[in-house]
Amino acid sequence: MKIKTCVSAIALTTGLALGTAQASEWTLEKAAEPYAGTIVDVVFLLRPGYEAAEAMLPDFEARTGIKVNIVKHPYENALGQQVLDFVADGDFDIALIDLVWIGNFAENDWIVPVSKFTSNPDLADPELDMDDFFPLVLNAFGGWNGEVYGLPFDNYSGLMFYNDCMLKDAGFDGPPKTWSELKDVYGPALTKDGKYAFALQSKRNETQSADSFARMLWPFGGSFLDEDFRSNLLSKESQAGLNFRQDLMQYMPDGIVSYDHAETVNAFAQGDVAMITEWSAFYSSLKNPETSKVVDCMKIAPEPMGPAGRKPALGGFSLAVASQADEDEQAAAWLFIQWVTSKANALEYLERGGVPARRSVYAQDGIAEKFDFVPALVESWQDGVPEFRPRFAEWPEITEIVQEWGTKIMLGDVTTEEGARILGERMEAVLEEAGYYSGDKPLAQ
């Protein structure tokens, strides 16, 4: 793994060094000349960051002559559609990778390391500046086993959105600092007259695994796996987190297990819920008067801390070049990825509703004032855990188990202990089959 990292770093540095020498000559138009007319296919989600990129796209197409064909899917279909396409040697030239898919895509050789392009001075933008990406985000969203495959594109951190007016009416000066404070102090005070203190999106899909289950493990010191890759869900810390979630449900709307992002964001936007912990990507819709009644009352803070620290939810997507694309398509795909995630475009992407992972854009004057989620976001990206959800190839199987038993625990069908025991046994069976315990696979997550 270390050798790979070294080679990758050398390739990257060489590429950038070569690029720097040609900085004065390199332009996007010139780099794209050989690929004019090439069509690249990519999956986009139905989310604000993708609408932002789509709105910026005409500029790229006019400058390069490269046509970007966007295939839109809801999140739940995006993995399945891409897997089927890659298995069948299909059309996608760019892979859209949720951070938990990176191990899967990389181990199946469906994506190409960025070093292939950054080492090519004809394709590498001298202004690429990989160090400008938040290291946690670049590593978690685009890196696997010491190699960088994707550049962070649609970037999230869990944030606390709170209704300051409701909090003030209840006598609070600011949001809770800790999860315990949220439950024990804010919960009883804000849950009344058909309104609720908090909503935790917990629908039985990736939302249950990422937004609900994992969110309550890490701040309490728990985790999915211990260092030997055995289940850690029965540890005192993991159990404390899961039991906390059960207790907290009394301050959430009925049927919270059927709440996905849309229902949760909507409940907050309608003023029915005082606080939610949601992805930064929903900022633009909550700030839009057409979709939110609480624009003037909404404030944002980092997620509350648990006994083990903040450990906020971490999620997001990178874009990587697909290995099934031919050489011209790969080059054209890289030029698009490099352009859409570039430092130069970060401000426009942000202003159009996207969330870039470029440090430089958040350091600009006035950005923190204009986009009030920025300070909390930047703080969260310092405290995040890359393996918030394990990123190995087995995650699609394991998340199904987490979704099933996580929901059963919430519904009270099983106790947290019994649910965690069964979940752990099934999780270990998947890892056993994959070869982690026999030493066939490195314990990388």
Minimum Å gap between C-beta 225 and another protein is 18
Residue from 408, 416, 424, 436 touching another protein (CB under 8 A): that is: 408
Binding mask 222-261 for another protein (x = CB under 8 A): --------------------------------xxxxxx--
Of the listed pieces 91-99, 151-159, 200-208, 342-350, which binds another protein according to CB under 8 A? Answer: 200-208
232 contacts 223 by C-beta, under 8 angstroms: yes
Residue from 404, 417, 428, 437 touching another protein (CB under 8 A): that is: 404
DSSP string, 353-417: T----BHHHHTSTTHHHHSTTHHHHHHHHHH--GGGS--STTHHHHHHHHHHHHHHHHHTSS-HH
Helix axes 236-248, 395-411, angle to 10 degrees: 50
Helices (H) and strands (E) counted in the chain, each on its own, are: 22, 10
Three-state secondary structure call for residue 157: strand
CA distance 215 to 63: 43
Minimum Å gap between C-beta 77 and another protein is 9
The values of phi and psi at residue 307, to 5°, are -60, -25
CA distances from 260 to 63, 81, 315 (A): 39, 21, 15
Binding mask 149-188 for another protein (x = CB under 8 A): ----------------------------------------
Cβ distance to another protein smaller for residue 59 or 76: 76
Residue from 54, 351, 383, 397 touching another protein (CB under 8 A): that is: 397
Closest CA to 117 of 316, 339, 358, 393: 339
Task: Tell me the number of residues near another protein by CB under 8 A.
Answer: 28
Three-state secondary structure call for residue 20: helix
- 271 sits near another protein (criterion: CB under 8 A): no
Burial 386-404 (b: 16+ CB within 10 A, else e): bbbbbbbbbbeebbbbbbb
Cβ distance to another protein smaller for residue 127 or 400: 400
- 411 sits near another protein (criterion: CB under 8 A): yes
DSSP state of 257: G
Binding mask 91-110 for another protein (x = CB under 8 A): -------------x---x--
Residue recorded with tokens 């050489």: 327
DSSP state of 127: T
- 204 sits near another protein (criterion: CB under 8 A): yes
Cβ distance to another protein smaller for residue 357 or 393: 393
- 1 sits near another protein (criterion: CB under 8 A): no
- 84 sits near another protein (criterion: CB under 8 A): yes
Of the listed pieces 82-90, 117-125, 152-160, 345-353, which binds another protein according to CB under 8 A? Answer: 82-90
Of the listed pieces 122-130, 182-190, 197-205, 379-387, which binds another protein according to CB under 8 A? Answer: 197-205
Minimum Å gap between C-beta 405 and another protein is 9
245 contacts 217 by C-beta, under 8 angstroms: no
Cβ distance to another protein smaller for residue 204 or 261: 204
438 CA to centre of own chain: 31
Residue from 80, 174, 309, 442 touching another protein (CB under 8 A): that is: 80
Cβ distance to another protein smaller for residue 86 or 229: 86
Residue recorded with tokens 């390069």: 64
List residues near another protein by CB under 8 A: 79-80, 83-84, 87, 104, 108, 203-205, 254-259, 272, 393, 396-397, 400, 404, 407-408, 410-411, 413, 434
